């Protein structure tokens, strides 16, 4: 659809008397342009693959895996236990619960700006698309008369990185990589 513009022209009328000609001519030769704003103007769709517009740089759209974006300053920041339970065992004491956990857990990563996994992998020094399989065991002695639980959760090494825009020379976003390295264990009884 296109915007519709309608012009309304008022034609000058014949002058009634020569004395009033100047004022009537000004009033009657006035033209009005009326634009109908009720009809929406169609906006053509954006072509190509635009990832998103960064909040830190409004108005600058970044195509998926733009060549001017780099992942840099990959830094190990510590370890964290995941929140998704991998395995659990329970039993009435007195007993020793032994939990052997073996699972394949994928490396997880996020970024505030769209960037390829290969660029992030090069920055942190390992593949962020890998799945890691680990086997570990833990034991918990449940006291007599108590019901005990032993749970395992993934343990991650955490790395952070910056997404740098080389075209405009500024940090455009940030990201984080969680690399599975083992398991955390939690025990309790009731």
Which of 7-11, 97-101, 166-170 has the lowest average pLDDT?
Answer: 7-11
Q: What is the DSSP letter of 169?
A: T
CATH 2.170.15.20 occupies which residues in the chain?
50-189
Give the whole-number percent of the chain exceeding pLDDT 70. Answer: 66
CA 124 to chain CA mean position, Å:
20
Q: How far apart are the first and last CA of the chain?
A: 69
**Residues facing 70 on adjacent strands:** 164
Which of 21-30, 106-115, 148-157 has the lowest average pLDDT?
Answer: 21-30
Instruction: Kindly state the average pLDDT of the residues 22-31.
Output: 44
pLDDT score recorded for residue 65: 59
Task: Report which secondary-structure segment, H or E, holds 87.
Answer: strand 87-92
Provide the pLDDT confidence category of residue 76 given band limits of 50, 70 and 90.
Answer: very high
More confident residue, 48 or 80: 80
Which CA distances in Å does 16 have to 12, 21, 27, 39? 12, 8, 13, 41
C-alpha 115/C-alpha 171 separation (Å) is: 13
Provide the pLDDT confidence category of residue 33 given band limits of 50, 70 and 90.
Answer: very low
pLDDT score recorded for residue 68: 86
For residue 116, give every residue at least 6 positions away whose Cβ sits within 8 Å of its Cβ, in sequence order, or none.
65
- Residue 132 CB burial class (10 angstroms; 0-12, 13-18, ≥19): middle
Coil vs helix vs strand at 115: coil
Confidence (pTM): 0.64
Write down the architecture of domain 50-189 according to CATH: Beta Complex (2.170)
pLDDT score recorded for residue 64: 53
The answer to whether residue 70 scores a pLDDT higher than 50 is yes
The answer to whether residue 44 scores a pLDDT higher than 70 is no
């Amino acid at each position: 659809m296109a915007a519709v513009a309608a012009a309304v022209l008022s034609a000058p009328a014949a002058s009634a008397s020569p004395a009033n000609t100047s004022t009537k001519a000004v009033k009657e030769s006035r033209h009005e342009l009326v634009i109908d704003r009720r009809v929406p103007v169609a906006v053509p769709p954006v072509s190509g693959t635009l990832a998103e517009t960064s909040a830190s740089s409004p108005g600058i759209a970044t195509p998926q895996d733009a060549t001017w974006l780099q992942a840099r300053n990959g830094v190990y920041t510590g370890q964290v236990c995941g929140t998704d339970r991998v395995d659990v065992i329970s039993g009435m004491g007195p007993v020793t619960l032994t939990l052997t956990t073996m699972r394949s857990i994928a490396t997880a990563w996020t970024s505030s700006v769209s960037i390829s996994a290969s660029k992030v992998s090069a920055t942190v020094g390992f593949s962020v698309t890998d799945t890691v399989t680990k086997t570990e065991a833990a034991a918990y002695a449940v006291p007599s008369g108590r019901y005990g639980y032993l749970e395992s959760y993934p343990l991650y090494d955490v790395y952070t990185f910056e997404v740098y825009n080389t075209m405009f020379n500024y940090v455009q976003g940030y990201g984080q990589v969680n690399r599975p390295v083992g398991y955390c264990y939690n025990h309790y009884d009731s």
